[in-house]
Structure 1
Amino acid sequence: MTWLDLPDGTGFGPDNLPYGVFSTRGTSPRTGVAIGDLVLDLHAVTGDDVHATGSLNGFMVRGPEAWQALRRDLTTWLTDAAHQARVQPHLVPRSEVTMHLPVLVADYVDFYSSRHHAENLGRMFRPDSEPLTPNWRHLPIGYHGRAGTVQVSGTPVVRPCGQRKAPTEEAPTFGPSQRLDIEAEVGFVVGAPSELGTPVPLGAFERHVFGVCLVNDWSARDLQAWEYVPLGPFLGKSFLTSVSPWVVPLAALEAARVQPPARDVPLLPYLDDTGTGPWGLDIAIEVRLGGQLVSCPPFAGMYWTPAQQLAHMTVNGAGLRTGDLFASGTVSGAEADQRGSLVELSWGGQEPLSLADGTSRTFLEDGDVVTLTATAPGTGGGRISLGEVTGRVEPAR
């Protein structure tokens, strides 16, 4: 319950309380919390200058005890009418704010954790081999991306240029990507750092990860196909990664925790989550192209959990920094309408996706707008929103 008059079915009720960085006309970016169709100005209501820095990093580095304490305060302020007179003046309509990148991204790692996605790509590109590479079921595969091109939702997607070579061509050519794609993903934001040389075990996930956001890891498939052997993705990925402006605290996802799928090979001890608290998450993603729903990827089916990803990412002693972002990799389900990328939805360009306006797509065209949204079960019995991440494709420059 809350003393606020919230819109029916809002995904931003008191059981969510996601953090973001916002500004209003003529003001500097500062931290806010979404509640209904409003934003609570945290700097104004708390007087804590950490919320006036234009980034969540200064607050996140304080650690889980500080995160829990502020969440308790926020819940009290927004549900107990005794606080209404103090809090209400610091609520701003979301329609009047500009959202900014919520964290200063320190490092960015992208994983490859959907078995359905990995098997689909394997069947497309290695039809005469096993769909999964020999290591895939033994460790979470990932690559280190470019933190500086992680940008907030709404940032234009400028079509990248680079080398590309079709199998039938004798030599590579240079030019705009002709196979620009999306990847519907979930991202995890690190708040508390770790010591260099000390791995982070599965059970310490909640002590380091602050919250969750949506990610669209835009991908130039033709650039990627030519460059990725032997060291993996580079320019085909690094031109832009879009994130949603709201970071949902882990505590808000407590009711969304589910067991991951059964694993069919024994896992090494540092990845073996048998008997531990589950970190599969029942997050329902929707992908829209030009406003039309084209896919509904289910995150609950991801083979590798974020806790396993974090454990693997640090098992060699790599330290965590406040603001590190790691993403799940493309989320895809077993059904054709659950695929989280166009390369899967069009099966490598062989089966164009039909749109309601009579056009079709294999890959993105200039002017296309892609929007990802997601919801999850909330602790209050309804569903909470992870917001949205949107991008519009612009011509190459």
Structure 2
Amino acid sequence: MFVEIITIGDELLIGQVIDTNSAWMGKELNNVGFEVIRVTSVRDREDEILEAVDAAMKRVDVVLMTGGLGPTKDDITKYTLCKYFGTELVFSEMVFENIKRILANRITMNPLNKAQALVPKDYCTVINNRVGTASVSWFEKNGKVLVSMPGVPQEMKTNMSEEVIPRLCARFKMGAIVHKTYTVKNYPESALAIALTDWEDQLPECIKLAYLPKSGIVRLRLTGRGNNEDEMNSLVLKEGAKLYDILGENVLDENDSPLEEIVGSMLKERSLTLSTAESCTGGNIAARITSVSGCSAYFKGSVVAYSNEIKKELLQVSEDTLNKFGAVSEEVVKEMVNGAMNSLKTDCAVAVSGIAGPDGGTAEKPVGTVWVAAAYGKTILTLKQEVDFGRELNVERATNNALLLLQKVLK
């Protein structure tokens, strides 16, 4: 069953607000068998909303819309949908009572709030929004469904989870969609595709493979579609198991876990502790590690040593090493990683020092040069990044490389 998502708001198109709604909706819909084939963002303009709705209704069975349902003049979605479906707005006592409940002891009712109780008269089932003042409109016409929801993420998620998805599942007969994602290290995307050519060519027609590259890893997503969920699960797992025969230990994970969770589990299982010493990543590695619930069981702390003085004072990096090799060097990150373990009294550590850019590079050490180290006890592994992909991606690559190196030294 195909779905299109339409998000409405000028703020989405000028980058003032990031559209996180579509990604969340796509994931949740896919989990119950609906396939999102297109996401469109449009301005708060009647003609553009009408054009997007009309095109989507011709392509798919279900159109989901978010945004433009607030109390201000630029919120025109429900007025525009009334025009599209050839109906009018009428006052709903049910919705008005819900608005009064939401606003009680918070905001004095005003004409703009009361106007939110106006709802489409025909072709529409109105669904009260238990966490907001803008109701949900469920339109049906000629066998097609269009649902208009608030754009506030928490309101959208609540209404999707509690009302929209259950109603869609009851309305449409769904097949089974099964996903399994494997994380692979040590392979660029093109090299991985070559290594998997024979296996990929023999995949059953009902199973599709997607390559999802990130810095330092490639995620392989197997998707099976059919009528029986148990059969699809079995078939996807059978094909995925063959990856271990081809790639061996380069298959890092089969649960689509982020790197910080993978290394966190390794540390927790072995009752080991971890610290980080960061220069150019500015605490990004520590932030990734501490994003995992329960990380206090293994993560003790971080030293963000941007200056040489901090490297010397807190991480025991010698002045001679800094003078001889420079802050961005293998020798320095080795001393940084040892300094982190000693200062923070941990079993393991990672360290990075580099030139993230856009300036600061030299002919000898251009922008993008980053040294990474990981240590477990007396064993230290190092890695050098050399290609400049821009500051943000340089930091992200260094973070991923540090976590991958840690995983390697723990192995």
Q: Scaled by the length of structure 1, what TM-score is found? A: 0.23
Going by fraction, where is helix more abundant, 1 or 2?
A: 2
Q: Scaled by the length of structure 2, what TM-score is found? A: 0.22
Which structure: larger Rg?
Answer: 2
Q: Which has the higher contact order (CA 8 A, sep 6+)?
A: 1
